[in-house]
Structure 1
Amino acid sequence: MIEVERVIMVRRPLAEVVAYLEDFGRTEEWDPGTVRCVRLDDGPVRPGARWRNTSRFRGRTTDLRYELVLRESARLMFVGENRTVTALDDLRFAAEGTATRLTYRASLRFKGFARLAAPFVRGEFERLADEVVTRLPTAAEAWRS
């Protein structure tokens, strides 16, 4: 399993940052690996909402189906899955004056023979997490609800 954690400061109030990030379709705006992310259902974003995320990682394109499994006032959790990997994105928010501190934990649990790849992709996953630290605040701060 690969796990990364980053702490990100966003110059927007907590409720606005949660509202921005609860729609996983917006990963196109801040996740450097996401090529496309499309909502698979309708209605308000709440636990059970689903997306198809197409990502490019080390030159390969893959699709994962993501679901919002937890939505609290200061926490979001998404689980993505396909036949080779389960991804978990755990976002925790804390107000810091008029800004928000986001603790972003992401993990990948590979399945079957794909588990053998974990040690070789850790560095790339860390690099992508570093890019998120730069891109996410810019996207969230530019968003208007």
Structure 2
Amino acid sequence: MVTRSGHCMCGAVTFTATDVSSEFGACYCEMCRRWNGDRFVGVHVPIAAMQINGANQISTHKSSDWAARSFCKACGSNLWYRLTDGPDAGNYSVALGLFDDVSGMKLAREFFVDRKDCLFDLPEGRIQMTTAEINAKYGLSEEAP
């Protein structure tokens, strides 16, 4: 367990999380897919382990009888998923892409795997471009985001 920091796309919401596991999960349920346009990939963080700055920029949507999802009001970045009932109520499942550093982390759990479909396939022979190739193609003078 380590301490990791992160932020939304615009930086209006920042956080520091302690006791962050090196294992993360992926959820393929319809709500996560619609919320992210893909699966939701997140890491569990206990409620007491989260220090959040910019709370006034967070909006939360109760997405079901048992969960809520939060996003940044300024840039729209999805932030986290939280159970509202049961033994893990209040704890965070923080979107993995928000962390400044995800080195050493690994996929350990998948939820609703019976709902995985072609959206989640990474077929052989697909086009893969590096940062340098993207910069050259679009004439970017600095590293792409």
TM-score band w.r.t. shorter chain: under 0.3
Q: Provide TM-score, normalisation by structure 1.
A: 0.24
Between 1 and 2, higher relative CO (CA 8 Å, sep ≥ 6) is seen in 1
Greater helix content? 1
Q: Provide TM-score, normalisation by structure 2.
A: 0.24
Greater strand content? 1
Structure ID, larger Rg: 2
